[in-house]
Amino acid sequence: MSDCETLQDRALEDGARGVTETPELREHLAQCTECQRFLEDLETLTGALQALPLVDAPNDLVERTARQLRSTQAPPVKPARRWGRARYWYSAAASILVMGFAVLLLQQPQHRQLSTAPESELSRVLPEGQSVDRLQSPEPATEFAAREATGKKNAELVAQLRESERLLGELSELPADAGSGTVSIAGRLLQGTDTFEGGDDDGLVRKRRANRMLLEGNEQKRDARTAQGFPGARALPEELRDYEFRAEKERTVRRDGDRSAGLATLPASPPPAVDEAQEEYRKSETSSFSSTAENLAPAESPAPSKRPHAKDNKGYSEADQLESAQQAAAPVVRDLTFAGAAGDSPSDGSERQGRASARAEQFLTDLERVEGLRFKAAEGYWRNTYVPGDSAMRLLRTRLGLWHKVPGIGDVRLEQAVRANRQPLDVPDNAAMGLYLQADKAAVSGVGRVRLQVGLQGAVRQGARPTMNLSVLLDLSNNAQQPSPQQVRAIVDALLGAHQPGDRFSLTVTGADGGLLVDAADFRHGPLQVALARLFSGEMPAGAQPVSLIDALQIATVAARSGDDPSAVFGSSLVLLITAGIDDAQLPTLQTIAHRNAVGGIALSVVDTGAGGALGTGSPALERLVAAGQGQRRAMAQPDDAARVINAELHAASRAVARAARLRIRLGPGVQLIDVLGSERLEEPQAERVREAERSIDQRLARNIGIRADRGEDEDGIQIVIPNFHAGDSHVILLDLLVDGPGTAADVTLRYKDLVHLKNGVARAELKLPGGDRRPGPLQRNVLKNRVAFELAQAARDASRLLEQGDAPRAIETLRAMHELLAGLRETVNGWSSDRELLADARVLADYVAYLQANLQTHPFHQRYLVESLRYMAFRKLTAANGEPQP
């Protein structure tokens, strides 16, 4: 396709902006008169289309329509329990089907070759003559055991077992005597043995998946019957059936897409100390999981415990493996009804339903409690709860990706099933951000509790990445840990591949013969290869003084400043530090430099190539450094990750549609603040840093793109500053309030730098609550649902902590209680009985409980996985779909 065709196609699809925001197309346009004329004609047409006036319906037609509506039956009133008795029949049918399916899965003896592993992989390890067959051809256990007992070797099985043991060892989560147990577990899992009573973990996991598939199929059938007018169900007009199915399909596609997230393999390196990183997770972890500098306390982590590497084990014999494959797992009590029916079972329903209803009533009652409340001052700077691409979340995700390579865990991916609630926030048409206020009450009478929701919605922006001024800093100063030559070459190749016209990349290195290795003018294949060859030759020029990381950072900063284009998009000048870890002693100075640079408009991001990066645990020092530099931290486990990491970093600048978004929330007269959920008021030093960062963005944008600087003094009320808001993202902030009666609950102002329309954006909204006892509508219930989401995230975090402390029973109970709460709320709150998001949440909780019950007693590494999985699940529940952290 020629350049002209490419440009014209892009223009026809995305309009003129689609062309002008792409550097290579912009460059072609500047030189091609034909394309210029094409674009002019297209803009004429676009203007003409937009100028077409609306055609109004004739007044008499509208009047006739209104009359007809008035004369038809009363509008359909939504019942509190839409399904009524029919729902229980569906639930009963589903349960019976599930039970039946479970019976089918049960074969005494078992040893059905069920697996969710990829077919090609599994077929390599199956005994000869045994095919991968997901639900058929049971092989009696006796025959299987007999065949193995004859000593028939399976070299691939052994290789798989060794590989899995190495993976487990690398994760360094195993106790000292885990070797044989690990092999036995891996062996059983790979061989696909499963039981039900006294069952094996892998089989139960597969059954759970099968149950879920069955229930989903039942739900689809139910919807189909609904559309056909099945009695007791809602009737959808034909025109809407497709809409609902498509929307659900869209959600399914997104979910499945996430499930195919890439996995990193482990380098053959000694296991890192994980306790320190986990300690930092705990300290940095807040309700909204932000990992800004304000939240990272100085580390006082315990000395890292030494975990035996798998290689320290004395090994195992094949006979051990095969014998252990025959071992029965610890008896597992599995509540099929609980897990399979996802709270919908009527079989032991009355007692469970009673508990669920009681929990829901208690929860709702607590939300209305007005006695014994403690209030907070509704003023000052509060911590921003919108942190797209949170580093801690990314690291967790990378780590979970490694867990997923372990047989038996691989296909579970419990945390991937969780989704944040979709918010009813319209995408703004003429601004980069939209502001919406809602409450969970439609009216108040007298003193009462209200949840106020401040909703933010980013515009959808279609644009290519801006021209980047990237100063790459390669840290080779630490002989003990530094990026490998393969990693460095992969990064350089990725940069070369991503280089676009107008980009300025340079390369600075530390260590011997350090300094500016390749400047922007020479950043191409030839000079880079020569430079890298010299770098890794080990030859040190005579008299060469090693360049420290601190000095190299100064040099890299100078290189970035020299290429800084005042007209470029803010965030397009960057120092990218490639390192496997830094010395803590240097951190304070590095932080100071990084912060100063960031205030001056040059951010600092880090690509962690160390073992910590590989495993996603990372160094707290690097975490603090990127926080000071207002950059991103990315994990690069292996050379193959280089392209992904580099592209993510280069595109980060183009994702923001607004910067320096300042929310000011003033409560109405007589309204008191109980809490801002997930946030807390910042101490003055933290607040000062927030102000400083805000001013730097304000002034920089005034210089660069002419958006007038408009940030001045602090304002009254609650102030929250959001440095960046990304395209398409939505975010809600919940305030728990006590009002003394009808009136203004709050007025909110949002100021931001609009990068879409290149102006100062302002939005204001005020929420007044009338008197009366009007029932909450769907928007009010949406606020309540978001409140429930916070509750669920908290339950997940609590369960994670309990599990980490070794208290599995209480962790299970925490999740079960949350599951019951959801079940009770779905029965109690109008319109929630068929809410798909709540149903999905209930399923996820049921899956976690089932998994915990099945795997916890005998498999410590499953516990480690679940601790992190639950933590990540809590992140995910409160993170906007589009705000999913990038790798």
Positions in 781-840 near another protein (CB under 8 A): 782
> To 5 degrees, how large is the angle CA 508–CA 510–CA 516?
25
Q: Quote the radius of gyration of the chain (alpha carbons, Å).
A: 30
Residues 735/741, Cβ–Cβ less than 8 Å: no
| Smallest separation (angstroms) from another protein to the CB of 881 | 12
DSSP-derived secondary structure letter, 416:
G
Q: How far apart are CA 803 and CA 408, in angstroms?
A: 19
**Would you state the structure tokens that stand for residue 532, as one six-digit string?**
């890298």
For another protein, the closer of residues 456 and 547 by Cβ is 456
Q: Does 217 bind another protein (CB under 8 A)?
A: no
For residue 493, give the 3-state DSSP assignment: helix
Q: What is the DSSP letter of 34?
A: H
- Find the binder of another protein among 422, 489, 561, 651 (CB under 8 A): 422
Q: Decide: is 298 part of the binding site for another protein (CB under 8 A).
A: no
Q: Which of 1, 31, 53, 129 binds another protein (CB under 8 A)?
A: 53
Per CB under 8 A, the list member of 315, 424, 670, 706 interacting with another protein is 424
With CB under 8 A as the contact rule, which of the stretches 176-184, 278-286, 391-399, 771-779 interacts with another protein?
A: 771-779
Q: Measured from the CB of residue 97, what is the shortest distance to another protein in angstroms?
A: 27
The residue (of 435 and 667) whose beta carbon lies closer to another protein is: 435
Residues of span 223-262 touching another protein by CB under 8 A:
234, 236-240, 242-244, 246-247, 250
Q: Does 778 bind another protein (CB under 8 A)?
A: yes
* Binding residue for another protein, selected from 56, 351, 366, 684, defined by CB under 8 A: 56
Angle between helices 318-325 and 141-149 (to 10 degrees): 170
Helix, strand or coil for residue 326?
coil
Cβ at position 250, least distance to another protein in Å: 7
d(CA 136, CA 151): 26
Which of 53-61, 120-128, 333-341, 732-740 is the region at the interface with another protein (rule: CB under 8 A)? 53-61
**Cβ-based neighbours of 541, under 8 Å, separated by 6 or more:** 512, 513
Stretch that binds another protein, among 41-49, 133-141, 313-321, 324-332 (CB under 8 A): 41-49
Q: For residue 431, give both structure tokens.
A: 């601004």
Choice between 175 and 771, CB closer to another protein: 771
Decide: is 42 part of the binding site for another protein (CB under 8 A): yes
DSSP helix/strand/coil, 665: strand
Q: Could you say which of 30, 55, 377, 480 contacts another protein (CB under 8 A)?
A: 55
Least distance (Å) from another protein to the CB of residue 660? 18
Which of 1, 31, 58, 374 touches another protein (CB under 8 A)? 58
Nearer to another protein, 55 or 268 (CB): 55
Closer residue to another protein in complex, CB, 378/450: 450
Asked whether the bond before 109 is cis by omega within 30 degrees of 0, the reply is yes
Is 428 among the residues that bind another protein (CB under 8 A)? yes
41 binds another protein (CB under 8 A): yes
CA distance 624 to 291: 9
Query: What one-letter code names the amino acid at 398?
Result: T
Residue 374's nearest CA partner among 654, 152, 674 is: 674
Interface residue with another protein among 44, 220, 228, 252 (CB under 8 A) is 44
Give the nearest distance from C-beta 11 to another protein in angstroms.
Answer: 9
Least distance between another protein and beta carbon 649 (Å)? 26
Q: Strand, helix or coil at 738?
A: strand
Q: Are strands 730-739 and 448-458 parallel, antiparallel or unpaired?
A: antiparallel
Q: In angstroms, how far is the first alpha carbon of the chain from the final one?
A: 32
**For the residues of 106-138, what is the DSSP string, one character each?**
--SS-------S-HHHHHHHSPTT----SS---
Q: What are phi and psi of 775, to 5 degrees?
A: -75, 145
560/575 Cα distance (integer angstroms): 7
Q: Which stretch binds another protein (CB under 8 A): 424-432, 492-500, 631-639, 874-882?
A: 424-432
Q: How far is the CB of 548 from another protein (least distance, A)?
A: 49
The yes or no reply on residue 664 touching another protein (CB under 8 A) is: no
* Plot region of 319 (φ>0 → left; ψ -120 to 50 → alpha; else → beta): alpha
Which residue bears the tokens 């109405």? 668
Is residue 1 a contact residue for another protein (CB under 8 A)?
Answer: no
| Binding-site member from 54, 377, 542, 585 for another protein (CB under 8 A) | 54
| DSSP code of residue 548 | P
Q: Is 426 in the site for another protein (CB under 8 A)?
A: yes
Shortest distance in whole angstroms from residue 848 CB to another protein: 25
Sorted by sequence, the CB contacts under 8 Å of residue 199 that are 6+ apart come out as: 329, 332, 334, 854
- Name residues contacting another protein, limited to 61-90 (CB under 8 A): 61-62, 64-66, 68-69, 72, 74-78
* By the rule CB under 8 A, 850 interacts with another protein: no
Q: Which two tokens stand for residue 223?
A: 């919807």
Secondary structure letter of residue 540 according to DSSP: -
Residue 159 binding another protein, by CB under 8 A = no
Q: Give CA–CA dist 360/826, Å, rounded.
A: 9
Contact between 9 and another protein per CB under 8 A: yes
| Cα-based angle 206, 208, 211 (whole degrees, multiple of 5) | 115
State in angstroms the smallest separation of the CB of 41 from another protein.
6
What are the CA-CA distances from residue 58 to residues 55, 61, 64 (Å)? 9, 5, 10
Which member of 7, 157, 277, 425 binds another protein (CB under 8 A)?
Answer: 425
766: contact with another protein by CB under 8 A? yes
For the CB of residue 353, give the shortest distance to another protein in the complex, in Å: 25
Contact set for another protein, span 442-501 (CB under 8 A): 442-443, 460
Alpha carbons within 13 A on the beta-carbon side of 352: 19
Q: Does 431 bind another protein (CB under 8 A)?
A: yes
Question: Which parts of 119-158 interact with another protein (CB under 8 A)?
Answer: none
- For 478, which DSSP code? -
| Crossing angle of helices 33-51 and 3-20, rounded to 10° | 50
CB of 408 to another protein, least distance (A): 36
- The first and second tokens of residue 175, run together, are 């106790």
Q: Residue 531: helix, strand or coil by DSSP?
A: helix
Which segment (440-448, 473-481, 520-528, 608-616) binds another protein by CB under 8 A? 440-448
* 779 touches another protein (CB under 8 A): yes
Q: 757 or 810, CB closer to another protein?
A: 757
Supply the minimum distance, in Å, between the C-beta of residue 82 and another protein.
Answer: 9
Instruction: Tell me how far apart the alpha carbons of residues 843 and 679 are, in angstroms, rounded to a whole number.
Output: 28
Region binding another protein by CB under 8 A among candidate stretches 165-173, 383-391, 619-627, 770-778 = 770-778
- The span of 38-46, 106-114, 135-143, 208-216 binding another protein (CB under 8 A) equals 38-46
Per-residue string for binding with another protein, 380-419, x by CB under 8 A? ----------------------------------------
Nearest approach, Cβ of residue 53 and another protein (Å): 3
Q: With CB under 8 A, what is the number of residues at the site for another protein?
A: 87
Please provide residue 663's backbone torsions phi and psi, each rounded to the nearest 5 degrees: -95, 135
Residue 757 interacting with another protein (CB under 8 A): no
Span of 28-36, 151-159, 435-443, 710-718 interacting with another protein by CB under 8 A = 435-443
Asked if 762 interacts with another protein (CB under 8 A), we say yes
Helix (H/G/I), strand (E/B), else coil: 376: strand
Cβ proximity to another protein: between 405 and 757 the closer is 757
Query: Cβ contacts of residue 360 below 8 Å, gap of 6+?
Result: 821, 823, 824, 825, 827, 828, 829
